[in-house]
Structure 1
């Protein structure tokens, strides 16, 4: 449960005012029997062992200590059971990875178990239970009453807590049914332990305690293997999903996000090694993306740099193990840390650093799974680079290196969609055609014609820069897309380009002569301009309008002119 600092303080105050004084009252007024210390110590040890080795089933942790505390109550009463239960909170605190921030949970559990112990014992006494009785019928009845009330009261208190904290409480939760299953399993053991210990003494602990602990360990081994298999299946699915992403950014976003959801971490960092420098490629802290910048030297001498040099996954379970090599990006409240190298083509490209505020937050097998995921990640990023390069190559004109018609068609549709959504105010299209280009080819050869096309594309690309998209439409025709350009602005830019082309000398090679030589020539261009939404609200119509303006308004009017489309 996540609560405010004020609520945490109230829990501590409530415990101080209730539990110590309550134990004092129980000691003086509750029914009890004289404790046989050799038996009682065995019961304490058995209770602690049971709590040290809990069950893990379907993601639920079950501390089945009730079978021991039931035997303690039936034998010695409320005070003895209460003390054993409070002692068993010590290993529970360890399993909950208790620290300063969440210590209130153990204090709250202590308070809650105190109330339950007193209430259940008092109810059993009210209905007539006599401590230490060996009448089997009474033991079965009152032991069952005690255990059932214990489970019900526990969940009633949880229900009240959820209601008070403003959550949407439910009584019949998954945990309730697992506790009910635990009751069905532990009740026969608890009753048998009580009866057998009274008849044969401490041998009962060996006859029942060892089998119970062994069963617990076997269930844990099976549960651990199932958890590992489940995490491996998630890792496999994760790997396939990364492989389906097409861009490096998508892969990085997905990788860091899924890692944060799969493992009990508070922060994650991808430390990249690029051109001899360490840098934070991506960082996420408490679920939020962060932009972090630190010097190469600070990272190099930290556990991130050491992990990069060693090239093997490293797990730190507490802060004292890595504080002397603390990286600048880790906050001082972190405890558990994993540092995993990211390999690509047998070479380390960087490291992944995961951190948690809890000690012993990560399991050793999780380190191996993350190492596997880092391999998937590196391969997916590499694949994305190849795909990106292939796509970029397929969308570029091999001769001029500017975009081709395939890309132009896609970009025109995207820009028209943005215009329709109101992201652009207007979209202008300029179509340019080199005048008498066939004469150039016939006079100077196709190689010279190609040089002119390359230089022509370079000129208009430099003039447009980031203001628009320049593409080769086909042959000697070029198209420029200009988002947020009005028709007047586009026409002025087109006139600027026309003059630039007209006044630029082009060097061609006279490869048709017997002796190769170079010559300076001048060319002109005819230009058509069309704008959306003024002229059309459809992309291909916008293109055809500019083409019409080019041939009717510029070519047929004498060439070397700029013409706008007129309806």
Structure 2
């Protein structure tokens, strides 16, 4: 939900109506117990230090500060626990990452912490719990009630709030489960801190606080190293997946999908660097590839240009850090940005830009991971280009650049399977042969014959367009394969093509005369047509039927004719 003035007014109104008056009433009717002074200051310092060191699990920060606030509640009561919770809330306000401004987050968080402390504290008292008790079983039993009420109320509060602002988060998620687990893992430390402090005083906070903070710091270091290791494993897996792709488009699409998912980025862009400009190659937004009409920009413009010119990857945590340098395309709502070069063998090929709607969505080690991934992309892209070139050479006729017989045979077999499976209604094959082509070679030379073949191939491709597949069958024979063309429509195409060839003058260079000269000659075609499934349900039979129609129905009938296969 968009942050509005109305939302601010409601939150601040609730805060003013409930939190300050609530604190005064609690202080009056449930005054703090126990001595104040050095120990309370030590508890506060311990709580603040703990709040500075959250554990991040599944991308969500979890704060362990309740191990201190529970002990403070058991020792001093509701009022002091609320004040300490408000203090740690301010720390969390600056530590946590959120798109909402602090003018929204402060009243919301303060109000929520106050409600949670009050609900859990009053439940503890109503259930029979006593503040300052030294009975271990009493403390454990009623503290469990306090803790359970606190955490359940917390998630109910957040769930209801998410529904009110239109986000509709799930009440029970993996983050919720982890929150329960971590909360109850630190519960014994809270009880131990309270009991130990009750018997030995201030030294208890040092004896337990220092080891706890050191343990938390080590866990954070281990957690960070695990995240880096996991990211490296994912990077290796993505590299292998890219290497298995055989086309450039597959490589680019797979890379964008995997990287956007890995870094939880709503936006991903690949820009190609060529001829002094940056041109958009892929645009991925909100889980979908977008058709784009983004004009190219100069190589030194915008964030991508900055990365290109400085040869340095960048990471921005919020919009105001990069908004002044933007010149290329970045969508509304983007906050965090991360960009790096795509290069291979010290040659820059482009720039990769990731963006998130969240502030502080990316961390520094991810920039290095992204650099490794970009290298994988460059290598896979080069390999795919080689493969596409090799495939094109193996599938194309070197002279006419049309598909060759090998490709035609595979294509025809696949299409016939679709016909037999009911996926295609018709499949028509047009076979054509140049009349008296040997005489042309004998009179003008074989190179002149090749010139005619190349020009004829261009005319056939122009006539067919995207409606069918054109191939050179061999020698002076050509084939066109039409999917979902019936026999009548195919015959109309064949007759139109025959007529155009008859009316066309082909330019050749005569090689057999005393002087090389440009000549114009005319040729004609004999054409045979066969259609599946009525003529055949086998691929090779369809070719034989068209060939039979060509020679018996067209050649033997006088040439320069179109004939259809007839059983």
How many matched pairs?
559
Which position in structure 1 is the counterpart of 2:151?
A: 154
Q: Is the partner of 1:85 in helix, strand or coil?
A: helix
Say if 1:493 and 1:149 are closer, same or farther in 2 by CA, change over 3 A: same
Which position in structure 2 is the counterpart of 1:19?
A: 19
Q: What is the 5 A alignment of 1:484-523? A: 485-502=485-502, 504-505=505-506, 507=508, 509=510, 523=523
- Is 1:239 equivalent to 2:239 in the alignment? yes
Q: 1:353 & 1:167 partners in 2: Cα distance?
A: 29
Which position in structure 1 is the counterpart of 2:381?
A: 381
Say if 1:317 and 1:476 are closer, same or farther in 2 by CA, change over 3 A: same
Q: 2:403 & 2:343 partners in 1: Cα distance?
A: 34
Which position in structure 2 is the counterpart of 1:61?
A: 61
Q: Is the partner of 1:527 in helix, strand or coil?
A: strand
> How far 1:408 moved relative to its partner?
1.4
Which position in structure 1 is the counterpart of 2:79?
A: 79
> How far 1:541 moved relative to its partner?
3.4
Which position in structure 2 is the counterpart of 1:227?
A: 227
Which position in structure 2 is the counterpart of 1:179?
A: 180
Q: What is the 5 A alignment of 1:548-567? A: 548-567=548-567
Which position in structure 2 is the counterpart of 1:259?
A: 259
Residues 304 and 328 of structure 2 are in contact (CA less than 8 Å); yes or no, is this contact kept in structure 1? no
> How far 1:107 moved relative to its partner?
5.2
Q: Mean alpha-carbon deviation: is it higher for 218-227 or for 85-94?
A: 85-94
Q: Is the partner of 2:32 in helix, strand or coil?
A: coil
Say if 1:144 and 1:329 are closer, same or farther in 2 by CA, change over 3 A: farther
**Ranges in structure 2 where 5+ consecutive residues have no aligned partner:** none
> How far 1:342 moved relative to its partner?
1.0
> How far 1:428 moved relative to its partner?
3.0
- Is 1:342 equivalent to 2:345 in the alignment? no
Say if 1:555 and 1:524 are closer, same or farther in 2 by CA, change over 3 A: same
Residues 339 and 352 of structure 2 are in contact (CA less than 8 Å); yes or no, is this contact kept in structure 1? yes
Q: Is the partner of 2:349 in helix, strand or coil?
A: strand
> How far 1:224 moved relative to its partner?
0.5
- Is 1:142 equivalent to 2:143 in the alignment? no
Residues 140 and 191 of structure 1 are in contact (CA less than 8 Å); yes or no, is this contact kept in structure 2? no
Q: 1:485 & 1:174 partners in 2: Cα distance?
A: 57
Q: Deviations over 1:64-119 (max 9, x none)?
A: 11221122112211110111112212233334303326986775554444333223
Q: 2:126 & 2:525 partners in 1: Cα distance?
A: 105
Q: 2:122 & 2:483 partners in 1: Cα distance?
A: 80
> How far 1:433 moved relative to its partner?
1.7
Say if 1:294 and 1:169 are closer, same or farther in 2 by CA, change over 3 A: closer
Which position in structure 2 is the counterpart of 1:119?
A: 119
Residues 298 and 328 of structure 1 are in contact (CA less than 8 Å); yes or no, is this contact kept in structure 2? no
Q: 2:333 & 2:172 partners in 1: Cα distance?
A: 34
Which position in structure 2 is the counterpart of 1:469?
A: 469
Q: Is the partner of 2:270 in helix, strand or coil?
A: strand
Q: What is the 5 A alignment of 1:211-360? A: 211-297=211-297, 300-331=300-331, 333-360=333-360
> How far 1:367 moved relative to its partner?
0.5
> How far 1:492 moved relative to its partner?
3.6
Q: 1:526 & 1:358 partners in 2: Cα distance?
A: 67
Residues 441 and 448 of structure 1 are in contact (CA less than 8 Å); yes or no, is this contact kept in structure 2? yes
Q: Deviations over 1:477-518 (max 9, x none)?
A: 21112345443443343234334444535646555x9x6866
Q: What is the 5 A alignment of 1:37-52? A: 37-52=37-52
> How far 1:126 moved relative to its partner?
4.0
Q: 2:397 & 2:298 partners in 1: Cα distance?
A: 45
> How far 1:439 moved relative to its partner?
5.1
> How far 1:469 moved relative to its partner?
2.2
TM-score of the superposition, structure 2-length normalised? 0.86
Q: Is the partner of 1:412 in helix, strand or coil?
A: helix
Which position in structure 2 is the counterpart of 1:393?
A: 393
Q: Mean alpha-carbon deviation: is it higher for 49-58 or for 549-558?
A: 49-58
> How far 1:328 moved relative to its partner?
4.3
Which position in structure 1 is the counterpart of 2:194?
A: 194
Say if 1:390 and 1:57 are closer, same or farther in 2 by CA, change over 3 A: same
**Ranges in structure 1 where 5+ consecutive residues have no aligned partner:** none
Say if 1:403 and 1:157 are closer, same or farther in 2 by CA, change over 3 A: same
Say if 1:516 and 1:163 are closer, same or farther in 2 by CA, change over 3 A: same
Task: Indicate the RMSD between aligned Cα atoms, in angstroms.
Answer: 3.5
Q: 1:332 & 1:299 partners in 2: Cα distance?
A: 23
Q: Is the partner of 1:322 in helix, strand or coil?
A: helix
> How far 1:296 moved relative to its partner?
4.4
Q: 1:115 & 1:564 partners in 2: Cα distance?
A: 86
Q: Is the partner of 2:184 in helix, strand or coil?
A: helix
Q: Mean alpha-carbon deviation: is it higher for 83-92 or for 191-200?
A: 191-200
Q: 1:533 & 1:103 partners in 2: Cα distance?
A: 72
Which position in structure 2 is the counterpart of 1:90?
A: 90
Say if 1:365 and 1:452 are closer, same or farther in 2 by CA, change over 3 A: same
> How far 1:175 moved relative to its partner?
3.8
Q: What is the 5 A alignment of 1:1-20? A: 14-20=14-20
Residues 116 and 154 of structure 2 are in contact (CA less than 8 Å); yes or no, is this contact kept in structure 1? no
